[in-house]
Amino acid sequence: MLDVARLRADFPLLAQRENGHPLIYLDNAATTQKPQAVLDAIADYYRTTNANVHRGAYDLAIRATEAYEAARATLAAFVNAWAPEGVVFTRGTTEAINLVAGAYGRTAVKAGDSVVVTAMDHHSNLVPWQMLCQERGATLRMVEITEDGRIDLADFGRALERRPRIVAFPYVSNALGTVNPAAQLAQLAHAAGAVVVVDGAQSTPHLKVDVQTLGCDFYALSGHKMLGPMGSGALVAKPELLEAMPPYHGGGEMISRVWDDHSTYNKIPHKFEAGTPNVEGAVGLAAAITYLERIGRERIADHEQALGAAAIDKLTQIEGVTVYGPRGRGDRAGVVSFTYGDIHPHDIATILDQDGICIRAGHHCAQPLMRRLNVPATARASFYLYNGLDEVDALAGALVKAGALFGYVPA
């Protein structure tokens, strides 16, 4: 386990109290807290380096551009991107996937084609494909999940028989914590001639990710789920795919020459970064990556898996609690989705909040998945490097209290 007490001291917000209790923040799949190093990097950028990027002839603007491009290189190395120019900064995973659907999808997908998604996809890796398929007259095929919350490989195989243009899936499920066999899925999809889009929102913060080993074509990630600022994120893509794609947004920065009635476009990745970018976001994200690498992603993954396993162990001992998703260690990240008898998950979250415990309740932006689990919503505790086993105990304790309020007798 990591030295949680030491790590927590790096996160100013975690010193706060909530409803009179020490803050127990277990909603890390939604967003993470930020270490002082990230806050300092953002403030330092504005104190010492701020200017618009890629256009200044003066030294300050050159330093701002260098800081922005250095952040790109840091992120590229972090996920072993094909090349730094294959990293397009976006507002996050959602925008990255919309970029692929809007720019790649609109040229590659024709009427009668199919696009494959899974029943565990976040709405951000579903709705853009729905919109694309509706626009192109293509078919969207949703691959089913197994009862224990994994992608149904048999159904995945059947979906590939139609030789889809695009196959999209999450590396790690935000609602269930399932770690999908992404490399295997990418290989199967490629063998069927598809381009592979991986939603990396939940994997990048928690696992050692190497997009080249994964063998995908597009990989989307969010900075705010990995200690970075909100509104930071990226699309990591094979450069040759980006080269061939039309632009996504039009405006400044993405152009090469502009005439009255047409334009030529900048080289990648700038072709996809219209307008003034979120430089503070990129700089803050780079600081977050440096922080994570100092601790080590394998150690972080081990720590979270231990917390997840402890939480499943404690929660399943409470009569009436149902935990969703796979049980095996190693194929599950530190995300525990559960329900408790007929207590609505929102009631659970509200009652836990009285003890300073923040969990998520709802459909987790995965309504098709909730329908398959046959629940309107679940409660979800999700862990990160600054959570400890004592917080798992507090979660279980508060849950028993919530049960008592609803007339459940502790076992």
Partner 1 sequence: MDTSPPDPQLSALYQELILDHYRRPRNKGTLEQATHAVSLNNPLCGDEIDLQLRVDGDIIKEVRFIGRGCSISQAAASMMTQLVKDKSIPQALALADRMRGTRAPRGTKPWASCAPWPVCRGFPSASSAPCSPGTR
Contact residues for partner 1 (CB under 8 A)? 19, 342-347, 350, 353-354, 361-363, 376-377, 405-407
- Please measure the distance between the N-terminal and C-terminal CA atoms of the chain and give it in whole angstroms: 29
DSSP secondary structure code for residue 175 in this structure:
T
Closest approach, Cβ 354 to partner 1, in A, equals 8
- Extract the tokens encoding 85: 């120019």
368 vs 376 by CB, closer to partner 1 = 376
The identity of residue 102, as a single letter, is G
Is 216 assigned a catalytic role? no
37 and 287 Cβ atoms separated by less than 8 Å = yes
β-pairing verdict for 335-340 and 378-382: antiparallel
55 vs 371 by CB, closer to partner 1 = 371
Closest approach, Cβ 342 to partner 1, in A, equals 7
- Extract the tokens encoding 336: 């525990």
DSSP secondary structure code for residue 194 in this structure:
-
Of these residues, 133, 216, 358, 365, which one is catalytic? 365
265 vs 406 by CB, closer to partner 1 = 406
Closest approach, Cβ 17 to partner 1, in A, equals 14
| Run of H or E residues at 35 | none
Closest approach, Cβ 258 to partner 1, in A, equals 40
Cross-strand pairs, 357: 24
CA distances from 305 to 146, 178, 211, 389 (A): 21, 11, 22, 11
144 vs 353 by CB, closer to partner 1 = 353
Closest approach, Cβ 360 to partner 1, in A, equals 11
127 and 133 Cβ atoms separated by less than 8 Å = no
170 and 180 Cβ atoms separated by less than 8 Å = yes
188 vs 365 by CB, closer to partner 1 = 365
Active site positions, annotated:
365
